[in-house]
Amino acid sequence: MITFDIRTLKAFIDEQYSFITGARINKIQQPTRREFILTLRKNGVSLPLYINIQPKFYHVCFTSEKNYAKKHLVIPKQPPMFCMLLRKYLENSKISKVNQVEDERILEFYVETYNEMGDKIYLCLAIELMGKHSNIILYNADTGIIIGCAHNVGADKSRKREVYGGIPYIYPPHNTKGSNSFKSLVVEFASQESKNALIDNYYSDFIYEYKYDELKNKLKTKAARLRTKILNSTHRMEQKLLSDEKSDTYRLYGDLLMANLYNLKDYTDAAEVYDYENNKTISIPLDIAKTVKENANRYYKLYNKSKNAKVKLTELIAAQNAQKDYYEQILYSINQAQNIEDLEQILPELDEDVTPVKNDKNFVSQITCLEQEDQTRIYIGKNNKQNDYIISKLASDEDLWFHVHNNAGSHVLLKTQKISDELILKCAKLAKEYSSVKDSSKIGVIYTKRKYLRKPPGANLGYVTYKNEKEIILD
């Protein structure tokens, strides 16, 4: 990737100078920590100025509607503090001067505005596009004092230059490597007519790929962590269950004590009795402060307590295993996701603060649909949201549902008026192909009619139970 250099910044300023100079800053937004959008308006035309200070993709340009979507610029409901500070000082103000610091990747907007007393003042928004040191700094052009910045830089971070509110603004140390040390975007693509379009198009693909990888890794890490947490919890429950396998022994002790009630002495520490179930004599520990009958009742209570705990633990383990399968399904869906939109459908399942988006036309179009002859359609879900939609909205009672047996995978739905063995086999192969065990041999694929599926109340997204199923074994 070609980095944003001095010559590219100069070419952008030369091309856009006439529009930027005299434009008003109509709106200020901050989609992420390192991305900013300043909507500039002049002569009835509004354009979004995109500023990126991410260490890899630092640049500035007016972004097109297509690339706005590609950059995936989602505006948060609650703007960050620096965004609110910029709005306070710069919104509805006019850019009176545009400047590039000589031999530096620093773009300066000198803004004409008014203070609380109504006096005209000049502020400067310095956009420093310098790799890992990229920053946006607002300072008073009259006094040189910094008002605020995107990233504070204290003495612990830099020995050469500190940047934070309340201190004088100074330029960073000069880049001694010079402007011709690296490839230049405007030189490499000199034939491109619009320098702004060149910058916008070139970096948009890199930004999209970066955001896709970032979100995918974030979701995989969280899903894997939750799955591991479930596995550890289940293991502890299983160990507890093994340690509580004394319930039958407690019952046996109680029965033997009651059977020998009149042959044993009260208030002793043990009772020697013959165990008819195992054909041997055993010694039963007793509470010396209790009678034989009271000891028998104590063992019955321990038996009931242990039995109830066993039932409860068994139920909890089953619930934990279902939750483990759910996270494995999510991990499969994350690996299947081909774009950010696919990942965003998964995000609400792992982040409670994210509100699921209602199904829309765009979402429905993302579901894979294979058109066959005779108005036959095969639907394949890529994640739990799509799986749920296929079953609850697209399926009819007589449609056939396919899924790999006991493994994570897509729901496959066959809608046809002419069911054939060939179609069933094809759907079974698709169910295996779109699963976490697609490369394995001897995999079972189950199928049944939609009317035999049921989603239990409160079940996870995409989860169903089934009956009257058949199974196909695929190599």
Residue 221: the pLDDT is 96
Could you tell me the domains of the chain?
Answer: 6-191 (2.30.310.10), 242-330 (no CATH), 358-474 (no CATH)
H helices of 337-411, in order, are: 340-350, 361-366, 384-389
Backbone angles phi, psi at 114, to 5 degrees: -130, 145
Structure tokens of 96?
């009176």
CA gap 281, 97 in Å, rounded:
102
CA gap 28, 89 in Å, rounded:
11
CA gap 83, 20 in Å, rounded:
20
pLDDT band at 306 (very low <50, low <70, confident <90, very high): confident
Residue 225 pLDDT more than 80?
A: yes
Residue 178: the pLDDT is 46
Residue 449: the pLDDT is 96
The lowest-confidence range among 137-141, 227-231, 249-253, 398-402 is 249-253
pLDDT tens, residue by residue, 97-121: 999 999 899 999 999 988 888 888 9
> What is the DSSP-derived secondary structure letter of residue 451?
G
pLDDT band at 43 (very low <50, low <70, confident <90, very high): very high
CA gap 265, 247 in Å, rounded:
25
Average pLDDT score over the chain: 91
Give one DSSP letter per residue of 377-395, joined into a string: EEEE-SSHHHHHHIIIII-
Burial of 143 (C-beta count, 10 Å sphere; 0-12/13-18/19+): exposed
Distance of CA 195 to the CA centre of its chain: 35
> Who contacts 144 (Cβ-Cβ below 8 Å, separation ≥6)?
168, 169
Cα→Cα distances 453→257, 320, 323, 395, 401, Å: 51, 22, 19, 11, 9
pLDDT tens, residue by residue, 384-394: 999 999 999 99
Single out the residue of 399, 389, 400, 462 nearest to residue 425, CA to CA. Answer: 400
User: Is the pTM value of this prediction over 0.95?
Assistant: no
pLDDT band at 365 (very low <50, low <70, confident <90, very high): confident
Residue 339 pLDDT more than 80?
A: yes
pLDDT tens, residue by residue, 416-473: 999 999 999 999 999 999 999 999 989 999 999 999 999 999 889 889 999 999 999 9
Q: What percent of the chain has pLDDT over 70?
A: 96
Residue 129 pLDDT more than 50?
A: yes
Residue 277: the pLDDT is 85
CA gap 31, 39 in Å, rounded:
13
Structure tokens of 34?
């390192």
Cα→Cα distances 175→11, 157, 160, 182, 382, Å: 19, 19, 13, 12, 49
Distance of CA 193 to the CA centre of its chain: 39
More confident residue, 159 or 378: 378
* Torsional sign, CA 72, 77, 83, 87: positive
Mean local confidence (pLDDT), 10-19: 96
What single-letter amino acid sits at 28?
Answer: I
Single out the residue of 48, 4, 42 nearest to residue 22, CA to CA. Answer: 42
CA gap 257, 332 in Å, rounded:
56
What single-letter amino acid sits at 282?
Answer: I
Mean local confidence (pLDDT), 88-95: 95
Dihedral angle computed from the Cα positions of residues 69, 70, 71 and 73, in that order, rounded to the nearest 10 degrees: 20
Mean local confidence (pLDDT), 163-188: 80
Single out the residue of 376, 372, 426, 415 nearest to residue 393, CA to CA. Answer: 415
pLDDT tens, residue by residue, 131-160: 999 999 999 999 999 999 999 999 888 888
Residue 278 pLDDT more than 90?
A: no
The lowest-confidence range among 99-108, 290-299, 353-362, 363-372 is 353-362
